Protein backbone atom coordinates (compact mmCIF):
# COMPACT_ATOMS: atom_id res chain seq x y z
CA UNK A 1 0.00 0.00 0.00
CA UNK A 2 1.25 3.47 -0.82
CA UNK A 3 0.67 6.37 1.56
CA UNK A 4 -1.09 9.41 0.12
CA UNK A 5 -0.85 13.12 0.92
CA UNK A 6 -4.49 14.14 0.68
CA UNK A 7 -6.33 9.47 -8.20
CA UNK A 8 -14.87 -11.60 -34.49
CA UNK A 9 -17.04 -13.23 -32.72
CA UNK A 10 -20.22 -12.59 -34.69
CA UNK A 11 -23.25 -11.48 -32.75
CA UNK A 12 -26.73 -10.79 -33.94
CA UNK A 13 -27.01 -7.20 -32.75
CA UNK A 14 -24.97 -4.05 -32.92
CA UNK A 15 -24.13 -1.82 -29.99
CA UNK A 16 -22.43 1.54 -29.74
CA UNK A 17 -19.87 2.67 -27.23
CA UNK A 18 -17.65 5.70 -26.74
CA UNK A 19 -17.94 7.24 -30.17
CA UNK A 20 -17.29 4.09 -32.20
CA UNK A 21 -19.91 1.78 -33.70
CA UNK A 22 -19.75 -1.80 -32.46
CA UNK A 23 -20.86 -3.87 -35.43
CA UNK A 24 -20.90 -7.64 -35.65
CA UNK A 25 -17.93 -7.53 -38.01
CA UNK A 26 -15.72 -5.48 -35.69
CA UNK A 27 -15.85 -7.40 -32.44
CA UNK A 28 -12.40 -8.95 -32.61
CA UNK A 29 -8.91 -8.01 -31.62
CA UNK A 30 -8.12 -7.49 -35.31
CA UNK A 31 -9.77 -4.09 -35.01
CA UNK A 32 -6.82 -2.80 -32.98
CA UNK A 33 -5.26 -0.80 -35.81
CA UNK A 34 -3.91 1.85 -33.46
CA UNK A 35 -2.74 -0.45 -30.69
CA UNK A 36 0.95 0.46 -30.76
CA UNK A 37 1.97 2.86 -27.98
CA UNK A 38 3.26 6.30 -28.97
CA UNK A 39 7.03 6.62 -29.32
CA UNK A 40 6.95 9.54 -26.91
CA UNK A 41 4.25 11.40 -25.05
CA UNK A 42 3.14 14.49 -26.94
CA UNK A 43 0.05 16.66 -26.99
CA UNK A 44 -1.07 18.23 -30.26
CA UNK A 45 -3.43 21.22 -30.56
CA UNK A 46 -6.78 20.34 -32.13
CA UNK A 47 -7.67 21.82 -35.49
CA UNK A 48 -8.92 25.34 -34.94
CA UNK A 49 -7.82 25.48 -31.30
CA UNK A 50 -6.70 28.95 -30.23
CA UNK A 51 -4.44 29.84 -27.32
CA UNK A 52 -4.71 26.31 -25.96
CA UNK A 53 -2.61 25.37 -22.94
CA UNK A 54 -0.80 22.06 -23.48
CA UNK A 55 0.12 19.87 -20.48
CA UNK A 56 3.79 19.78 -19.56
CA UNK A 57 5.23 16.29 -19.53
CA UNK A 58 8.06 14.94 -17.42
CA UNK A 59 8.40 11.15 -17.60
CA UNK A 60 9.47 10.63 -13.99
CA UNK A 61 6.81 12.96 -12.59
CA UNK A 62 4.08 11.51 -14.81
CA UNK A 63 4.82 7.99 -13.59
CA UNK A 64 4.22 8.94 -9.97
CA UNK A 65 1.08 7.13 -8.70
CA UNK A 66 -2.04 9.06 -7.77
CA UNK A 67 -5.72 8.64 -7.02
CA UNK A 68 -8.46 10.96 -8.22
CA UNK A 69 -11.65 11.63 -6.27
CA UNK A 70 -14.62 12.57 -8.42
CA UNK A 71 -17.16 14.25 -6.18
CA UNK A 72 -20.56 14.14 -7.89
CA UNK A 73 -24.12 15.11 -7.03
CA UNK A 74 -24.76 11.42 -6.29
CA UNK A 75 -21.65 10.51 -4.33
CA UNK A 76 -17.87 10.17 -4.59
CA UNK A 77 -16.03 7.94 -7.05
CA UNK A 78 -12.37 7.22 -6.33
CA UNK A 79 -10.09 6.19 -9.18
CA UNK A 80 -6.59 4.76 -9.00
CA UNK A 81 -4.60 6.04 -11.99
CA UNK A 82 -2.51 3.56 -13.96
CA UNK A 83 0.42 5.94 -14.27
CA UNK A 84 2.90 3.15 -14.96
CA UNK A 85 0.89 1.84 -17.93
CA UNK A 86 -0.63 5.01 -19.40
CA UNK A 87 1.52 7.95 -18.23
CA UNK A 88 0.60 10.27 -21.10
CA UNK A 89 -3.10 9.74 -20.47
CA UNK A 90 -2.95 9.98 -16.69
CA UNK A 91 -0.77 13.09 -16.97
CA UNK A 92 -3.42 14.74 -19.15
CA UNK A 93 -6.26 13.69 -16.83
CA UNK A 94 -4.41 15.12 -13.82
CA UNK A 95 -3.70 18.35 -15.72
CA UNK A 96 -7.36 18.82 -16.67
CA UNK A 97 -8.54 17.94 -13.16
CA UNK A 98 -6.22 20.48 -11.56
CA UNK A 99 -7.41 23.27 -13.83
CA UNK A 100 -11.08 22.49 -13.08
CA UNK A 101 -11.91 21.38 -16.60
CA UNK A 102 -14.46 18.78 -15.49
CA UNK A 103 -16.22 20.86 -12.85
CA UNK A 104 -19.94 21.21 -13.57
CA UNK A 105 -19.94 18.72 -16.45
CA UNK A 106 -22.57 15.99 -16.76
CA UNK A 107 -21.88 12.42 -17.74
CA UNK A 108 -23.56 12.43 -21.12
CA UNK A 109 -23.87 8.83 -22.32
CA UNK A 110 -25.08 5.56 -20.86
CA UNK A 111 -25.17 2.10 -22.44
CA UNK A 112 -27.31 -0.58 -20.82
CA UNK A 113 -27.08 -3.68 -23.04
CA UNK A 114 -24.07 -5.90 -23.75
CA UNK A 115 -21.64 -3.05 -22.99
CA UNK A 116 -22.22 -1.31 -19.66
CA UNK A 117 -20.49 2.06 -19.51
CA UNK A 118 -21.11 5.64 -18.46
CA UNK A 119 -19.29 8.25 -20.53
CA UNK A 120 -18.19 11.57 -19.06
CA UNK A 121 -15.63 14.32 -19.61
CA UNK A 122 -17.26 16.62 -22.16
CA UNK A 123 -18.28 19.93 -20.56
CA UNK A 124 -20.47 20.65 -23.60
CA UNK A 125 -22.20 17.29 -23.29
CA UNK A 126 -22.14 16.82 -27.06
CA UNK A 127 -19.84 13.77 -27.34
CA UNK A 128 -17.46 15.82 -29.50
CA UNK A 129 -15.89 18.19 -26.98
CA UNK A 130 -12.18 18.18 -26.35
CA UNK A 131 -9.71 20.20 -24.25
CA UNK A 132 -8.15 21.85 -27.31
CA UNK A 133 -5.52 19.15 -27.79
CA UNK A 134 -5.26 15.44 -28.41
CA UNK A 135 -2.82 12.62 -27.77
CA UNK A 136 -2.20 9.06 -28.95
CA UNK A 137 -3.39 5.77 -27.50
CA UNK A 138 -1.51 3.84 -24.83
CA UNK A 139 -1.82 0.55 -22.94
CA UNK A 140 -3.90 -1.21 -25.60
CA UNK A 141 -2.11 -4.55 -25.81
CA UNK A 142 -4.50 -7.09 -24.34
CA UNK A 143 -6.73 -4.34 -22.93
CA UNK A 144 -10.03 -5.50 -21.43
CA UNK A 145 -12.82 -3.51 -19.82
CA UNK A 146 -14.33 -5.27 -16.78
CA UNK A 147 -16.40 -3.44 -14.17
CA UNK A 148 -14.46 -0.56 -12.66
CA UNK A 149 -12.31 0.11 -15.72
CA UNK A 150 -11.71 3.77 -16.58
CA UNK A 151 -10.73 4.27 -20.22
CA UNK A 152 -10.50 7.02 -22.80
CA UNK A 153 -13.34 7.63 -25.23
CA UNK A 154 -12.83 9.05 -28.70
CA UNK A 155 -14.50 9.74 -32.02
CA UNK A 156 -11.40 9.52 -34.20
CA UNK A 157 -9.16 6.45 -33.75
CA UNK A 158 -5.86 7.31 -32.09
CA UNK A 159 -6.97 10.76 -30.92
CA UNK A 160 -7.81 11.17 -27.23
CA UNK A 161 -8.82 14.34 -25.44
CA UNK A 162 -10.90 14.72 -22.28
CA UNK A 163 -13.75 12.24 -22.67
CA UNK A 164 -13.61 8.98 -20.79
CA UNK A 165 -15.89 6.12 -19.83
CA UNK A 166 -16.25 3.94 -16.75
CA UNK A 167 -17.48 0.35 -16.95
CA UNK A 168 -20.07 -0.17 -14.23
CA UNK A 169 -20.52 -3.90 -15.02
CA UNK A 170 -18.62 -6.57 -16.93
CA UNK A 171 -19.38 -6.49 -20.68
CA UNK A 172 -21.34 -9.40 -22.13
CA UNK A 173 -19.31 -9.49 -25.32
CA UNK A 174 -15.67 -9.23 -26.24
CA UNK A 175 -14.74 -5.56 -26.59
CA UNK A 176 -11.79 -4.90 -28.93
CA UNK A 177 -8.72 -3.45 -27.27
CA UNK A 178 -9.27 -0.03 -28.80
CA UNK A 179 -9.69 2.35 -25.87
CA UNK A 180 -6.85 3.34 -23.54
CA UNK A 181 -7.43 1.98 -20.01
CA UNK A 182 -5.90 4.48 -17.58
CA UNK A 183 -7.52 3.83 -14.23
CA UNK A 184 -9.66 1.61 -12.06
CA UNK A 185 -12.46 2.48 -9.65
CA UNK A 186 -11.46 1.58 -6.09
CA UNK A 187 -14.62 2.92 -4.44
CA UNK A 188 -17.93 4.43 -5.51
CA UNK A 189 -18.93 2.02 -8.27
CA UNK A 190 -22.36 1.91 -6.67
CA UNK A 191 -22.82 5.55 -7.70
CA UNK A 192 -22.59 4.54 -11.35
CA UNK A 193 -24.85 1.53 -10.91
CA UNK A 194 -27.52 3.75 -9.40
CA UNK A 195 -27.39 6.04 -12.45
CA UNK A 196 -27.60 2.99 -14.73
CA UNK A 197 -30.74 1.75 -12.95
CA UNK A 198 -32.54 4.86 -14.14
CA UNK A 199 -31.92 4.02 -17.78
CA UNK A 200 -31.66 6.54 -20.60
CA UNK A 201 -33.74 9.55 -21.49
CA UNK A 202 -34.78 8.03 -24.80
CA UNK A 203 -35.61 4.65 -23.31
CA UNK A 204 -33.09 2.93 -25.55
CA UNK A 205 -29.95 1.03 -24.59
CA UNK A 206 -27.71 3.93 -25.63
CA UNK A 207 -28.45 7.54 -24.76
CA UNK A 208 -28.23 10.29 -22.19
CA UNK A 209 -28.79 9.07 -18.63
CA UNK A 210 -32.25 9.81 -17.28
CA UNK A 211 -30.64 10.62 -13.93
CA UNK A 212 -28.02 13.36 -14.11
CA UNK A 213 -24.56 12.62 -12.77
CA UNK A 214 -22.81 15.98 -12.37
CA UNK A 215 -19.10 16.20 -11.58
CA UNK A 216 -18.74 18.82 -8.85
CA UNK A 217 -14.97 18.47 -8.39
CA UNK A 218 -12.01 16.25 -9.20
CA UNK A 219 -9.19 16.12 -6.67
CA UNK A 220 -5.85 14.51 -7.50
CA UNK A 221 -4.01 12.95 -4.57
CA UNK A 222 -0.44 11.97 -5.36
CA UNK A 223 1.42 9.23 -3.56
CA UNK A 224 3.89 10.47 -0.99
CA UNK A 225 7.58 10.21 -1.80
CA UNK A 226 9.36 7.30 -0.17
C-alpha 124/C-alpha 184 separation (Å) is 25
Question: What are the b/e assignments for 103-135, b being 16+ CB within 10 Å?
Answer: eebbbbbbbbebbbbbbbbbbeeeeebbbbbbb
pLDDT of residue 203: 95
Least confident span in 118-127, 145-154, 195-204, 205-214: 118-127
pLDDT of residue 82: 98
| Residue 211 within a domain | yes
| Residue 104 within a domain | yes
More confident residue, 34 or 210: 210
| Residue 144 within a domain | yes
C-alpha 116/C-alpha 138 separation (Å) is 22
Q: What is the mean pLDDT of residues 203-221?
A: 96
| Residue 140 within a domain | yes
Most confident of 3-7, 29-33, 79-83: 79-83
Whether 121 contacts 151, CB under 8 Å: no
More confident residue, 39 or 222: 222
pTM (predicted TM-score): 0.82
Task: Cite the DSSP H helix spans in the chain.
Answer: 59-62, 87-98, 189-197
Q: Which CATH number does the domain housing residue 146 bear?
A: 2.40.100.10
Q: What range does the domain containing 48 cover? A: 15-222
SS3 annotation, 25-81? HHCCHHHCCCCCCCCCCCCEECCCCCCCCCCCCCHHHHCCCEEEEEEECCEEEEEEE
pLDDT of residue 20: 37
Q: What would the pLDDT profile of 12-56 be if each residue is shown by its tens digit?
A: 333 334 343 332 222 223 334 344 444 479 999 988 777 788 999
pLDDT of residue 133: 94
Quick one: which of 224, 115, 129, 126 has its CA closest to 175? Answer: 115
| Residue 9 within a domain | no
What is the SS3 assignment for 90?
helix
Residue 111 β-bridge partners: 206
Q: What is the mean pLDDT of residues 206-217?
A: 96
Q: What would the pLDDT profile of 172-188 be if each residue is shown by its tens digit?
A: 999 999 999 999 999 99
| Residue 137 within a domain | yes
Quick one: which of 57, 54, 80, 61 has its CA closest to 69? Answer: 80
Q: Which residues contact 156 (CB under 8 A, 6 or more apart)?
A: none
> How many distinct structural domains can be found in the chain?
1
Q: What is the dihedral of CA 46, 167, 66, 130, to 10 degrees?
A: 10
pLDDT of residue 125: 76
pLDDT band at residue 158 using 50, 70 and 90 as cut-offs = confident
Whether 68 contacts 78, CB under 8 Å: yes
Amino acid sequence: MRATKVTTIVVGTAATCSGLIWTAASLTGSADTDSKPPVACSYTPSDGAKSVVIPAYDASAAARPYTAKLVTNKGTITIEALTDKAPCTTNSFSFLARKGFYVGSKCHRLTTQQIFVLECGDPKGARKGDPGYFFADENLTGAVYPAGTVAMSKVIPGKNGSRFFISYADPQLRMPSAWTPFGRVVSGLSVLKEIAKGGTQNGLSDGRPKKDLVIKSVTVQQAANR
